[in-house]
Structure 1
Amino acid sequence: MSGTRYAQFCALARAAEILGERWTLLIIRELLLGQKRFSDLSDRLSGVSPTVLTTRLNTLIESGVVRRVDLPPPFNAQVYELTPIGQSLKPAIRELIRWGGHFIFPMRPDDEFDPDWGLLALDASARRTPTPAHKIVLRIKHKAAVASFLIEGGKAGTTITKSDGPGSSIIETTFDVFLPIISLKLPLERAMAEKRATVEGSLRIARMLPRFFDRSERHR
């Protein structure tokens, strides 16, 4: 294993040795969304050099957090995926996303965004207590890209899957508009009037969107 070392017999220090280097947490983010080829990671982590990406992946592999997998024909490709111990990071990543929400605004002019990242952010904000037993499709758009998520309520709370439905309502907006809607800082009707969001299907159910999420104050 290479990288930072802390001469401390402390579990947090050990975790920081593995996860604390630049780009490592974002590699974990990408692999939580599914298997990725090296080229996929390089494309989605704009700014990381091939050398740094290789070093970070090797450290994660040596630590047992990530593994390489050879896909069978017809793919004939090598991909990276999280091991079970890597997957066990998901609750910690969820809490880091929630904590990071305090600092996400304002959006910086040079910020990039991939709508697929919305899946982890939605999961981090989802209520874990009973929510309305309805289904809403949320389409997050950014430039030419769109990702669709099915938001489903029930007795166990809100579940989020990457899907285009079906749902009783379809809401399309950008992620920076979605966040103030669910935190009740921006009424859905106002976002619609300002043409920052559109709704297809039941407006009554669409208005319930904030009830599917934890509305605690965490966005500035």
Structure 2
Amino acid sequence: MSGPRYAQFCALARAAEIVGERWTLLAIRELLLGPKRFTDLSARLSGVSPTVLTARLNALIESGVVRRTVSPQFNVQTYELTESGRDLQPAIRELIRWGGRFLFPMHPDDAFEPDWVLLGLDAVTRRTPTPARRIVLRVRHKAQSASFLVQGGPGGTSIEKSEGPGGATIEARFDTFLRIISTALPLDRAIADRLASVEGSMRIARSLPRLFDLSDRRVSSPTPAPSSP
């Protein structure tokens, strides 16, 4: 394996040698959301140089975490996680949970992709039985938006990128959703302050925090957001 070594017989040191370089975990985040072309990764990892990104991807390929493949739909080369790479998802989930306490405030130069919400919310879904609900979350950010279907049931809460259908659809910014599911901001208050809107059943929409465990954990409270980005 090329790259820096800690020269320690320790599994954590080995893991850090593979994923500890700058940009590596963020490249893995992008590939957890699906295969990407080099240009896709470069665009979404704003600030990384092509030389550094190439080096990080080559190191992950050498370690058996990532592989190159050809998209049958577009006949272009893409990068995707191997089985070993997908096995990183529980560790990524826990890092997201831990990192949430340092998330706010959002800085003016922070990039944001609405589909990052999929991994962010998956990290705080309940893994124990939850109410049988289907709620669509429509996350908006400036001119962008993405929709996610949250489902509760005996196996806990699941989330997928989908328009539904659901018993209720809630539209808001991501920081507003975090305040709602952490119970720091009641949904009715968010609606009254024009931070969120609801289509469908209000009863189902109000049950959203019960599908997550964010309210059970000590997290930093986001600064109240204005009504428009």
TM bucket by the smaller chain?
over 0.9
Deviations along 1:40-86, whole A, 9 cap, x unmatched?
Answer: 000000000000000000000000000000123x5110000000000
Matched length: 219
Q: How far 1:2 moved relative to its partner?
A: 3.1
Asked whether the equivalents of residues 98 and 218 of structure 1 are also in contact (C-alpha less than 8 Å), the reply is no
> What corresponds to 1:130 in structure 2?
129
> What corresponds to 2:76 in structure 1?
77
Secondary structure of the corresponding residue to residue 36 of structure 2? coil
Q: How far 1:217 moved relative to its partner?
A: 2.4
Q: Does 1:20 align with 2:20?
A: yes
Q: Distance in 2 between matches of 1:21 and 1:184?
A: 36
Q: TM-score, normalised by structure 2?
A: 0.94
Q: How does 1:93-112 map to 2 (within 5 A)?
A: 93-112=92-111
Q: Distance in 2 between matches of 1:105 and 1:47?
A: 20
Asked whether the equivalents of residues 126 and 213 of structure 1 are also in contact (C-alpha less than 8 Å), the reply is yes
Secondary structure of the corresponding residue to residue 160 of structure 2? strand
Q: Does 1:160 align with 2:159?
A: yes
Asked whether the equivalents of residues 168 and 201 of structure 1 are also in contact (C-alpha less than 8 Å), the reply is yes
Supply the AA of the counterpart residue of 2:45.
L
Flag structure 1 segments of 5+ consecutive residues without an equivalent.
none
Q: Does 1:86 align with 2:85?
A: yes
> What corresponds to 2:211 in structure 1?
212
Q: How far 1:171 moved relative to its partner?
A: 0.2
> What corresponds to 2:149 in structure 1?
150
Q: Distance in 2 between matches of 1:176 and 1:218?
A: 16
Spell out structure 1 runs of 4+ moving beyond 6 A. none
Q: How far 1:38 moved relative to its partner?
A: 0.1
Supply the AA of the counterpart residue of 1:60.
L
Q: Distance in 2 between matches of 1:162 and 1:209?
A: 17
Supply the AA of the counterpart residue of 2:60.
L
Q: Distance in 2 between matches of 1:212 and 1:145?
A: 25
Q: How far 1:34 moved relative to its partner?
A: 0.2
Q: CA RMSD in A?
A: 0.9
1:218–1:23 distance in 2 versus 1, CA, 3 Å? farther
Q: TM-score, normalised by structure 1?
A: 0.97
Secondary structure of the corresponding residue to residue 121 of structure 2? helix
